[in-house]
Structure 1
Amino acid sequence: MIDLNEFSSFFIPLTAAALALIFAIFIVRIHATKSPRKTKKYPPIGSSHLRQIPNFYRLFDFITDLSHKYKTYRLPSLIDFNGYSRNEIYTTDPLNVEYILKTNFPNYGKGLYNYNIMTDLLGDGIFVVDGYKWKHQRKVSSYEFSTKILRDFSSVVFKATAVKLARKLSEASESNRSIDMQDLFMTATLDSVFKVILGIDLDGLSRTYEEGVRFTDAFDKANAISTFRYADIFWKIKRFLNVGSEAELRKNIKVVDEFVYKLIKSKIELLNNPHDDTQPGKKEDILSRFLELKETDPKYLRDIVLNFVIAGKDTTATTLSWFFYMLCKHPDIQEKIAKEIIEVTQVRSNSSIEELAVKVNEETLDQMHYLHAALSETLRLYPAVPLDSKICFSDDTLPDGFSVNKGDMILYVPYAMGRMTALWGNDAEEFRPERWLDENGHFQPKSSFIFTAFQAGPRICLGKEFAYRQMKIVSMILLGCYKFKLNDESKPVKYRTALTLHIDGGLYLRVFPRSNHDTTINA
């Protein structure tokens, strides 16, 4: 028998406690339902993929127009034929840029989307991978790029190439014909980067090295086709069937690989030759430095070589092209740089190209503040990479309060940022090198999260100082010898929409010999 008094004394309090708990949970749920939930706030929709199509020829200006209205905006989520679903978020907010490139760097990377597009050409190279593979290559490369050996070797290479280029211009000047400077810069920078990376003379400026010519043509075509994958929604199907552009890509990559693997094999044999230890320049190029570190996997070395080639070729060449274009549009600035060259090098009026090149050294390069400012001003308005993308690896919130979902692509836009009056003042669209100089006329750098031409944070461009050194050496030798004018002042110069900011159709200039009497020291 159950004792009712005992049951009551036990059950009633327990029941009351349970009812109280249930009631409390009910109240909490009611309160939670009535209270406003913390919802995600997404960037405003600035445009659509369809609206981008008619503006593709001026895409970066179209993005700039939108960026004047929205510092951060998005294109709505879509599912493409490759199975990716994501928003595209564009930002020109320096706080956002710093956040994705530095503060929360691990959450934003190349991702599988970019990797899958570029890996056939670039393999597992530093510019397409994340995580351990990136960290390892970055660590080794950072050390090698900081060595005095590589700096001195690259300066010798840059000067030798610039002298060859100056001689080429002499021929054009004597025959009074226009010349495509962008094409020459492309060839010259590839010659330089190949010598610095592999220690090999491609000699593209004379086109006497047939294997080198075939490699150059194949590499350029492979790069263009790989880049076109970003717009070609059927590229995976074409690759599977090996038809169209994908069949062409495979053929060109085969040419590239045969050439690079052959050079790697030759370099390994050379370095392993105990009787050839005194060969000049044997261990100065980047490939030799990697081999000294016992990095001997040919595929690994192949990927490193091609990643550095793609980073050092088009970017420097396009910047030099836009720089010389701006000097032709602003002849007063061209003369001011020529005057600085004369003052710093103290060259005589009858000096030869070679005599001028001798005066171009680390000491004189460091004194070229106005030239450095003019190159930076060019990169501000015409960044070699006009926009750069990262993939978000997990849901996040940007400093401006906007939410980003896992898999979203976020793009910061150097081209648009260089035209923001909030960042550069009311004259943001004017070419004015003086904005980079302090009261003493010395170059004064800007925040890398505002001037984003070389990225920033852990992925900041390893070759930044090399690029400036090469551009300054080339500019000093060419502008110390020649004056440049547009072949057709009335013809508009426009960019070609691509990953790098090429001048569409080339840059045709006329070249005239410069006498130091044109720009006197006391002028």
Structure 2
Amino acid sequence: MNTLILLLANLFILTGFYCSTRFMLTLFGLIVLFMLSILVALIVQYLRELLSKDHRPPVIGSVFTILIHFSHLFDYMTEIAKKHRTFRFVTPARSEVYIVDPINVEHILKSNFPNYTKGDYHKSIMKDLFGNGIFAADGDIWRHQRKLASFEFSTKVLRDFSTVVFRSNTAKLVNKVSESVVHNQNFDLQALLMRSTLDSIFKVGFGFDLDTLSGSDEASNQFMIAFDDSNYILYGRYVDVLWRVKRYLNIGSEAALKKNVKLIDKFVYGLIQLKREQMKKGKLEGDKDDILSRFLIESEKGPGKLTDKYLRDISLSFIVAGKATSANALTWFFYMLCKHTFIQEKIALEVKEATGAEYTYSIDEFSQKLAETALDKMHYLHAALTETLRLYPAVPLDGKCSENDDILPDGFKIKKGDGISYMAYPMGRMAYIWGEDAEDFRPERWLRDGVFQSESPFKFTAFQGGPRICLGKEFAYRQMKIMAAFLVFFFKFKLVDEHKEATYRTMFTLHMDKGLPLYAFPRPKA
């Protein structure tokens, strides 16, 4: 918003050199009138909702309150949620309701699922990047993609193929960290994890070796930067009441978003076209394990349904699911291991015992030992990853829209058109859900006699719940366990600045701000 005000001010000054004083006064009056009309509409709506006796959720503030606290939004929401399990903020057009009580979460995600959709509001914000991809879709489009994705994730072919890819790319990651160890240099683990997971999802999703980990491919590097920046800009639309004006004028963040999306489209459409050409030449027969190839084969059965635009939207959904979520979760995981070194050592010992590997093993030898049976034995690692996701969920807030009037299980009334978001980040910090030690990192809370025990998806919402529960949950755990096992087996990690507390960028996924600078040390060979 500050950028827009500055640009408008400069435009106003420049216009003054070429226009009459009367015209400039009229223009200035129109701008002031426009801004005042927005402010008056907000004040009227705010007072109306504040004075309502209709048993609506308590009003905490307006959309401008969220804007003020945007940089630390999820922690701000946590503090409110400790006082109010259900609350709302007011905009000129509607109320934005936020919930943390598991009974309410189950209501919107399962019990009354048809009433709570992504809605036109959320889709309008997300569409420029995600189009009609599964994260932004409703109705028949969502059901069609869900059906396709459900079939693909259930196949043994994809499971085996993805495991091979995860091992191969993580081996490259270990070599990359080893270079820093040899040169006694610190490194940004988050950046390396982002590149490694992007390489993996492109291999599994598209069948192409992107190799961003080497940093040699400029096009893929630009794609990754554009994708992350677009994610950040889109989330900012929730508090930027003038984003549509900025998009129309093609200025500020909206101009940057347009440029990013153009770059992203060129990159993804190029891959889709290359795949189509390979299919026409019959080159997919021996190499069709990736998701895009399987979707293209499916498109031949129903021509016209899976257009390049449709495949583009599906593909970007897989990228955000497979890259950003896993990499962000692993970043917070290693941050917590550095804060709790005894847990880091306990996981390293479990990996060693589960694989039967020795520290003298090479990367290839360890990879062979890291079989599915070994991964299944790593209950403490699984618990530590889950505990990380409890406190640092990949998607900290998830918004829906109410299609009709409703009453939540706690008795509060929801109006048609209200936004309603369940808050995974604050939920992980609620004492009434997890106990008085809710804000402590304690993997043991997930273990019973040493065996991992899951919780209700409406209490632990990192993978959502109900009909829209994440299909790639086991896929994500497999990737995270392989990467974590490799790294803790070969290295000990230490924060460059042990006194600095990590913070996040406020966006759709919980991205650590300014990266994760670490030192790595090889584990002793004896």
SS in 2 for 1:412: strand
Aligned partners of 1:267, 1:58: CA distance in 2, in Å? 42
Q: Which moved more, 1:475-484 or 1:231-240?
A: 231-240
| TM-score, length basis structure 2 | 0.86
Give the aligned partner of residue 482 of structure 1. Answer: 491
Aligned partners of 1:70, 1:210: CA distance in 2, in Å? 48
Give the aligned partner of residue 458 of structure 1. Answer: 467
Counterparts in 2 of 1:397 and 1:259: CA distance versus 1, 3 Å: same
Give the aligned partner of residue 17 of structure 1. Answer: none
- 1:63 equivalent among 63, 77, 82: 77
> Is the contact made by 1:314 and 1:500 (CA closer than 8 Å) also made in structure 2?
yes
Give the aligned partner of residue 177 of structure 1. Answer: 185
Aligned partners of 2:255, 2:355: CA distance in 1, in Å? 52
User: Shift of residue 303 of structure 1?
Assistant: 0.9
1:84-163 alignment, distance < 5 Å? 85-163=93-171
Aligned partners of 1:435, 1:149: CA distance in 2, in Å? 34
Give the aligned partner of residue 444 of structure 2. Answer: 434
Aligned partners of 1:352, 1:430: CA distance in 2, in Å? 36
Give the aligned partner of residue 324 of structure 1. Answer: 334
Q: Deviations over 1:327-352 (max 9, x none)?
A: 00110000000000110111123111
1:206-355 alignment, distance < 5 Å? 206-274=214-282, 276=283, 279=286, 282-294=287-299, 296-355=306-365
Counterpart amino acid of 1:453?
A
SS in 2 for 1:323: helix
Give the aligned partner of residue 30 of structure 1. Answer: none
SS in 1 for 2:82: helix
Aligned partners of 1:43, 1:485: CA distance in 2, in Å? 45
- 1:384 equivalent among 394, 417, 421: 394
Aligned partners of 1:501, 1:293: CA distance in 2, in Å? 34
Aligned partners of 2:223, 2:289: CA distance in 1, in Å? 23
Give the aligned partner of residue 500 of structure 2. Answer: 491
> Is the contact made by 2:391 and 2:429 (CA closer than 8 Å) also made in structure 1?
yes
Give the aligned partner of residue 22 of structure 1. Answer: none
> Is the contact made by 2:322 and 2:476 (CA closer than 8 Å) also made in structure 1?
yes
Give the aligned partner of residue 423 of structure 2. Answer: 413
> Is the contact made by 2:275 and 2:293 (CA closer than 8 Å) also made in structure 1?
yes
Counterparts in 2 of 1:121 and 1:358: CA distance versus 1, 3 Å: same
SS in 1 for 2:416: coil
User: Over aligned residues, Cα RMSD in angstroms?
Assistant: 1.5
User: Shift of residue 131 of structure 1?
Assistant: 0.7
Counterparts in 2 of 1:62 and 1:251: CA distance versus 1, 3 Å: closer
> Is the contact made by 2:105 and 2:422 (CA closer than 8 Å) also made in structure 1?
yes
1:11-22 alignment, distance < 5 Å? none
User: Shift of residue 516 of structure 1?
Assistant: 5.3
Give the aligned partner of residue 432 of structure 2. Answer: 422
> Is the contact made by 1:261 and 1:298 (CA closer than 8 Å) also made in structure 2?
yes
> Is the contact made by 2:189 and 2:518 (CA closer than 8 Å) also made in structure 1?
yes
User: Shift of residue 47 of structure 1?
Assistant: 4.2
> Is the contact made by 1:342 and 1:516 (CA closer than 8 Å) also made in structure 2?
no
Q: Which runs of 5+ in 1 are unaligned?
A: 1-38, 80-84, 518-523
Give the aligned partner of residue 206 of structure 2. Answer: 198
SS in 2 for 1:187: helix
Give the aligned partner of residue 23 of structure 1. Answer: none
Give the aligned partner of residue 512 of structure 1. Answer: 521
Aligned partners of 2:255, 2:445: CA distance in 1, in Å? 49
| TM-score, length basis structure 1 | 0.87
Question: Bigger radius of gyration, 1 or 2?
Answer: 1
Q: Which runs of 5+ in 2 are unaligned?
A: 1-52, 300-304
Q: Deviations over 1:327-378 (max 9, x none)?
A: 0011000000000011011112311122111111211111110000000000
Aligned partners of 1:93, 1:430: CA distance in 2, in Å? 20
Aligned residues: 469
Aligned partners of 1:211, 1:88: CA distance in 2, in Å? 39
SS in 1 for 2:212: coil
Aligned partners of 1:221, 1:292: CA distance in 2, in Å? 33
User: Shift of residue 163 of structure 1?
Assistant: 0.5
Q: Deviations over 1:204-229 (max 9, x none)?
A: 00122233223223323333322322
Q: Deviations over 1:233-292 (max 9, x none)?
A: 222122222233222222222221122112111111212323x3654xx11000011111
SS in 2 for 1:313: helix
Q: Which moved more, 1:190-199 or 1:232-241?
A: 232-241
